[in-house]
Amino acid sequence: MIVVATSDFEVYHGVVNELRDRGTTFTTVEPDEELPERTTVVVTGTDHADSFPGVTTIVAAPDDPRRAVDRALAAIRGGDGRTIIGVDPGRKPGIAVLSGETIVAAFQIPLGDAVDVIQREIAEAPSPVVRIGDGSRLEGARLITDLGDVRVELVDETGTTPYLGTGSRGMGDVLAAVNIAHREGEVVDAREIEPTAGEIQVIKDRSREQSDGNRAIDEVLARRVAAGELTIDEALVEHRDDGDGSTTESTNTDHSDES
């Protein structure tokens, strides 16, 4: 059983709410009270980090109660508690965070936010691993590059997207990420991709969708986006600046012709 024992009101409030949201059985005691006989894990604040010898003690940060609850749940469920993150790459990748065999968090967010979320989830975790599906090659390659020194495994994602029944629309990428997290892959620190003509065209089409003037970037910029050197927004800025320069040059030439 999980016991919350702290005199830090902020820690108490955050941890208790998090446990209630997850439907977890727990109890609370004052830090100087005797722990119940069935106590497995104590969650407390820094004020009582050393007050419970012989019992698994998890110290919660006031601004991050979820991480403490994740660790507490992993402890009572057994297993090695290793943090594994599965990623189904794409424009809005699905991300699943596992502690051992337990899913402790799930996200579906824009690609540009994915690295920050992953790094936040593995912060302070011992020997975490990020498993990325090998589909959506360009997006996956960008994530691998941007994650830097994190252990990354490239996973064959064949068959990881489950059948979705009625009412489960939008869950496919997250469920695929869970399945990816459960598969071991090849350790990689980069993924060199030569974009196909179709992939380049997709990037151009996306740049047109995101532009404020129905304009697409050229192939040179699209290849830089494919290589992860630029985001589409950054490429649009370069394209706009290059376009402004060529317009000015053309105007000056016209004036010289008139003279």
Are 96 and 106 a contacting pair, CB within 8 Å?
Answer: yes
Please give the pLDDT value at position 5.
Answer: 96
Share of the chain above pLDDT 90, in %: 54
pLDDT at 221 over 60: yes
Q: Are 101 and 181 in contact (CB under 8 A)?
A: no
Q: How many CA atoms lie within 13 A of 193 on its CB side?
A: 26
CA distances from 204 to 21, 145, 232 (A): 43, 22, 9
pLDDT per position as a tens digit, 80-109: 678 999 999 998 999 999 988 888 889 999
Per-residue pLDDT of 185-215, as tens digits, reads 999 988 877 888 988 998 999 899 888 888 8
Q: Give CA separation, 217 vs 24, 226, 236, 248, in Å.
A: 51, 12, 6, 19
Residue 80's pLDDT is 63
**Under a CB-based contact definition with an 8 Å cutoff, are residues 35 and 55 in contact?**
yes
Q: How confident is the model at residue 78 (pLDDT cuts 50, 70, 90)?
A: low
Extended beta strands in the chain, E state: 2-4, 26-28, 41-44, 56-59, 83-88, 94-99, 102-108, 129-133, 152-155, 186-188
CB under 8 Å, gap of 24 or more: what pairs does 200-203 form? 200/226, 203/138, 203/232
Q: What is the average pLDDT value for the chain, to the nearest integer?
A: 87
Cβ atoms of 95 and 117 closer than 8 Å: yes
Beta carbons of 122 and 150 less than 8 angstroms apart:
yes
> Rounded to an integer, what distance in angstroms lies between the CA atom of residue 248 and that of residue 162?
54
Which of the pair, 78 or 253, is modelled with greater confidence?
Answer: 78
The distance from CA 225 to its chain's CA centroid, rounded to whole angstroms, is 20
Percentage of residues in the chain having pLDDT higher than 70:
92
pLDDT value for 213: 81
> Does the structure show a pLDDT above 50 at 20?
yes
Asked whether residue 169 carries a pLDDT value surpassing 90, the answer given is no
- Between residues 135 and 250, the one the model is more confident about: 135
Query: Is residue 136 over pLDDT 80?
Result: yes
In this prediction, residues 28-45 reach a mean pLDDT of 93
Q: How far, in Å, CA of 104 to CA of 95, rounded? A: 11
- Looking at residues 248-252, what average pLDDT do you find? 35
User: Is residue 118 within 8 Å of residue 87, measured between CB atoms?
Assistant: yes
pLDDT given for residue 247 in this prediction: 34
**Strand, coil or helix: 153:** strand
pLDDT at 79: 60
